[in-house]
Amino acid sequence: MKGNKVSASIFLVIALLFSSISAYSFMAMQENEVIYEGPNKTEVRMLSDYNPSLKGTSGDTEVYVLTGDEPGGSLLVLGGTHANEPAGFLTALLMIENMKVDAGTMYIIPRANNSAFTHNDPTEGSPSHYNIGSRTFRFGSRATNPIDQWPDPDVYIHASSGQQLSGSETRNLNRAYPGRVKGTLTEKIALGIKNMIVEEDITMTVDLHEASPEYPVINATVSHEKSMMLASIAVINMELEGVPMGLEPSPMNLHGLTHRELGDYTDTYPLLMETANPSQGRLKGKTDANLVVEGIDPIYVQAYKADKLFVKFDEKGHPIEERVGRHLVGIYEFAKALSDLEPENQVRFSNLPNFEEITTNGLEPYLDRDN
């Protein structure tokens, strides 16, 4: 009898320990990362300013507005559409904290789906956090937290098109555009972004993503047909700079995505960028914070040698600084093409590292607030 009591006590202590660890991890995932003001005077709005039904929900999120001294157009950058694709969030963060806007206005949403940052995918072996120097950032999920939106239907029917997808896609922000007033939380987030684009008359929108090395659309830009001229010029210039980028047309029969619906339902020029991230794939080995940041995976090296990938993959991998650098170069070239083709809609900015600087120095010098 005494032995049973001892065993029960041990199991109780273990259960309490695991409960405490789980509670701490849960609470840590609810805290937004600190974002510091950069050289521009920054106005911070909320997405609920454009869709009041988001107010008080985990779908509400910050919208950073950086205005230049000279008039011009406007450019919206969406980071964190998928919170397990960290290059998009870090690119948005680096721009907010370092960029000087010289002409036009930049709108930046670093956590487009804020709810997706409040949980991760432990069944995929995903880490909850990763570090850049002394700063810690959350590694979230592709989808809205099920605590905020549940249950998933067996089949997700995209409201405006009738397109049918897997039920879990109902929590994927990049399948929810243009959104709807009485929709799910995810659809309300999409509607808030669409409303902001319309109300602010945003000239160009760039949605930042990452994808697995075995995904055909990788290190590429996906463009709505009306954005093709701008995208083509930018992609050619990136190639000349030694940063090759593919260009893909937005499929007309695939709905809910930014590059399709924002082009159809607003006047903005929509573009979506994908960079190569092994932590997104199925062929990877151990999934941990090192893979997220360093982007090195020996299994992907073997897969490339076996001609199973759509991007080169060697022992250097695809580290986070390369992926963020690719996003930054793309945004710069998109803005430059816009300014050249439509001078009245110019958007010019400075004080950001170029691709060589960021791949040589890493991200830490540009995110270290002690410098």
pLDDT of 299-315, one tens digit each?
999 999 999 999 999 99
β-bridge mates for residue 135, sequence order: 132
Residue 265 CA to residue 80 CA, distance in Å, equals 22
Q: Which amino acid is at 244?
A: P
- The dihedrals phi and psi of 200, each to the nearest 5 degrees, come to -95, 0
User: Which tens digit of pLDDT belongs to each residue from 185-216?
Assistant: 999 999 999 999 999 999 999 999 999 999 99
In sequence order, what E strands does 22-145 have? 42-46, 62-67, 70-78, 100-109, 129-132, 135-138
DSSP 261: I
> If you average pLDDT over residues 35-60, what whole number do you get?
95
- 303 vs 299: CA distance, rounded Å: 6
Q: Residue 254 contacts by C-beta under 8 Å, 6 or more apart in sequence?
A: 163, 260
pTM score: 0.93
86/277 Cα distance (integer angstroms): 9
Query: How does residue 125 score in pLDDT terms, banded at 50, 70 and 90?
Result: confident
In angstroms, rounded to a whole number, what is the distance separating the alpha carbons of residues 207 and 258?
7
The amino acid present at 122, given as its one-letter code, is P
| SS3 state of residue 220 | strand
Residue 332 has pLDDT above 60, yes or no: yes
At residue 154, the pLDDT reads 97
**Structure confidence at residue 30 as a pLDDT band (50, 70, 90):** confident
Query: Residue 164 burial (CB < 10 Å; 0-12/13-18/19+)?
Result: exposed
Confidence of residue 123 (pLDDT cuts 50, 70, 90): confident
Give the model's pLDDT for residue 200. 98
- Chain-wide mean pLDDT for the chain? 93
Q: What is the pLDDT of residues 130-181, one digit of tens each?
A: 999 999 999 999 999 999 999 999 999 999 999 999 999 999 999 999 999 9
Using a pLDDT cut of 90, give the percent of the chain over it: 88
Query: What pLDDT, in 10s, does the model give residues 260-295?
Result: 999 999 999 999 999 999 999 999 988 899 999 999
Q: 255 pLDDT exceeds 70?
A: yes
C-alpha–C-alpha distance, residues 209 and 206, integer Å: 10
Segments in the chain forming alpha helices (H): 2-29, 86-98, 185-199, 228-240, 263-265, 289-294, 298-305, 320-341, 355-361, 364-367
Residue 109 confidence (pLDDT) = 98
Under the banding of pLDDT at 50, 70 and 90, the label for residue 24 is very low
The pLDDT, as a whole number, for residue 358 is: 97
User: What is the predicted pLDDT for the residue at 367?
Assistant: 95
pLDDT score, position 368: 86
What's residue 20's pLDDT? 41
